[in-house]
Structure 1
Amino acid sequence: MSGPTGAQFEITYGTARAVVTGIGAGLRVFEVAGQPYVETFAESEAPPMGSGNVLAPWPNRVAGGRWRFDGAEQQLELTEPARGNASHGLVRKVPWQVITHTGSLISLGVEVGVQPGWPVPLRVTISYALDAHGLTVTHGVHNIGDRAVPFGIGTHPYVRAGASATDDCTLRLAATTSLPLDPESMVPCGPQVGLSRTEVDFRRPRSLRGERLDHAFGGCVPGADGLVRHRLTGPKTAVELWADPDFRWVQVYTPDEFPGRGRAVAIEPMTCPPDALNSGIDLITLAPGDAWSGRWGLIPR
């Protein structure tokens, strides 16, 4: 199809179903037995509020779109002009190529070429796979240039606990710190602090009713199984977002007006915080020819 998200690729396993978009390789649908576990949108629509977006080669924001690489200032396109930032990477609105598509697996790839503000080419891949446990998403980044380059990865799912209203849910995060963000620019305005010193401590389940969040949380601690685990729990249904330890950060956003839903909650696993291309915090650096991969997923409970 020729809509704003291009071709639609469906995968299934038992009663589980997911739909991935050809433009942006975003997650548009994930449901089990007819119960939705991410917010969705129509094929004919652009992803509202970044829904399902893949965020590479950086997640979140770069202040002023400016950063330095090998001593030279880089200027990225200001894709969030109202705040003066470069936002959410370079691959959200470009076509991805299908690598593999079977009944329960879809893999896509895209090349991030040298362009204003981005000096080293990368090959970025993503796979979505369904099994008896839920959905697993695997990101890959390969440096196909001739210089080492830093990067970060994130994704932007609006997670939901089946039919539960957002305000009827509790949220528990594996995060142990919060990074203060300027309310106007949404870029960091101070060092990260322990959650015991904030009013947004979600280390224990906490109701989302009345919460207004657009917060960057860090220090995500893996459990005994080596995985970071966040959990959204409704009255009858829950969903767990797990991630590899490289996903040390998570942005949580609770808009009031997600189309067709109203109150929603984005739980965005990230390998680095906002403006990491400037701070250097938790960036991953790839030498020429090297590759990285990292996983996250959703498990209905």
Structure 2
Amino acid sequence: MTPGEIAMLELSTGPFTARIVPEIGGIVTGLEWRAPDGKRHKLLHAPNGAVPTTAHSNMFGTWLMVPFANRAFDCLIDDGERAFTVPANDRSGNIHGFGRQSAWTVLGMTQGHTVLEHRRTEGPDPYRYRATQDITLDDAGMTITMAVTNEADTALPYGIGHHPWFPCAPDTRLGMTAAGALVFGEAFRATGSALFSDGGPYADKPVFAREHETAWSLLGWNGVARIETPSTGLAITLTASENFSFPVVWAPLGADFLCVEPQSHAIGSPSEAAARAVSPLTRLQPGETLEGWLRIVPETL
């Protein structure tokens, strides 16, 4: 490896290949599937030539959000018992935590499996933790099991999630149901929440909206999302653990990707009282662990 070159791991099992860059946020930069007809499909949005970075959020692959998911507006962490600030990494405050900007250590690796670790042992805020990602390929898909353990000497609020970016074409349909969603004011800041009477905007598996920015912070998701693209003959089923029932669905105007982000709390729960009221962070005592998982399984249409 030459100076400046990024070290990449490659996992391979059956028809699946995954590429992972531990030193750049532990990101899974690509996941590919060889279908029974021999056609190869990208299961994660992965533009040719895209290079991962810690300077900003990588808009491809999938990566862990820790010690909280999505936005802490004005860098504030406030769970109603304790309030403090964290370093800014976005104009709005802190987005997606520290894991995506950190180097991860490889604890072990086989042909179709690896375990990565990221520890935060210092900083201007009280967060001290150990985070892990267990990434496994099998003959049907990829599973990522993630965890964060509070290694501070005091109880702290935590959240986790993963941020997959999926390919999206003009005919791509998204199907998923939820009990409700946050109501957004300016810049995705929650002003309240609302219940759905019909399972939400994707209950009937509509064509995913591409003519405007899409942003939902869903509540009470049942843990299953299905993405179908007839023009490519590909369907992807995303499932997640029960405690990841607050996913974000997002895509900007005209994007060739869509994000369905399983996470343990809603947008803004670290800082906004309206979000915290319906999806608080998890308060971990020293040594306690918060964990969850997601799974990606493809099939042909």
Per the shorter chain, which TM-score range?
Answer: 0.7 to 0.9
Instruction: Specify the SS of the correspondent of 1:92.
Output: helix
Q: Distance in 2 between matches of 1:43 and 1:219?
A: 34
Instruction: Specify the SS of the correspondent of 1:208.
Output: coil
1:45, distance to aligned residue in structure 2 (A): 4.4
Aligned length: 281
Amino acid in the other structure paired with 2:285: A
Gaps of 5+ in 2: 35-39
Q: Which runs of 4+ in 1 moved over 6 A?
A: 2-5
Counterpart in 2 of 1:120?
A: 127
Is contact 1:5–1:43 with CA below 8 Å preserved after alignment? no
Counterpart in 2 of 1:176?
A: 179
Counterpart in 2 of 1:53?
A: 63
Q: Distance in 2 between matches of 1:252 and 1:169?
A: 14
Counterpart in 2 of 1:225?
A: none
Q: Distance in 1 between matches of 2:79 and 2:31?
A: 38
1:64 aligns with 2:74: yes
Instruction: Specify the SS of the correspondent of 2:236.
Output: strand
1:248 aligns with 2:233: no
Q: Distance in 2 between matches of 1:28 and 1:65?
A: 28
Counterpart in 2 of 1:105?
A: 113
Q: Distance in 2 between matches of 1:12 and 1:237?
A: 20
Amino acid in the other structure paired with 1:285: R
Instruction: Specify the SS of the correspondent of 1:205.
Output: coil
Amino acid in the other structure paired with 1:300: P
Is contact 1:62–1:86 with CA below 8 Å preserved after alignment? yes
Q: 1:130 to 1:61 in 2, by over 3 A?
A: same
Q: Distance in 2 between matches of 1:92 and 1:3?
A: 22
Report % sequence identity: 22
1:3, distance to aligned residue in structure 2 (A): 9.1
Alignment of 1:19-168 (within 5 A): 19-22=19-22, 23-33=24-34, 34-41=40-47, 42=49, 44-46=51-53, 48-49=58-59, 51-68=61-78, 73-81=83-91, 84-116=92-124, 118-160=125-167, 165-168=168-171
Larger mean CA deviation between 246-255 and 66-75 belongs to 66-75
Is contact 2:73–2:94 with CA below 8 Å preserved after alignment? yes
**Cα RMSD after superposing both structures:** 2.4
Q: Distance in 1 between matches of 2:202 and 2:5?
A: 34
Is contact 2:106–2:117 with CA below 8 Å preserved after alignment? yes
Match of 2:227 among 232, 250, 262: 232
What is the TM-score when the length of structure 1 is the normalising length?
0.85
Give a deviation string over 1:110-156, Cα, whole Å, max 9, x none: 1123422x313110000110001200000011122221211111121
1:67, distance to aligned residue in structure 2 (A): 2.6
1:268, distance to aligned residue in structure 2 (A): 0.8
Give a deviation string over 1:143-191, Cα, whole Å, max 9, x none: 222212111111211123xxxx5221111113221112234x2221x22
Counterpart in 2 of 1:192?
A: 193
Larger mean CA deviation between 229-238 and 34-43 belongs to 34-43
1:230, distance to aligned residue in structure 2 (A): 0.7
Q: Distance in 2 between matches of 1:268 and 1:252?
A: 6
Q: Distance in 2 between matches of 1:218 and 1:73?
A: 24
Instruction: Specify the SS of the correspondent of 2:217.
Output: strand
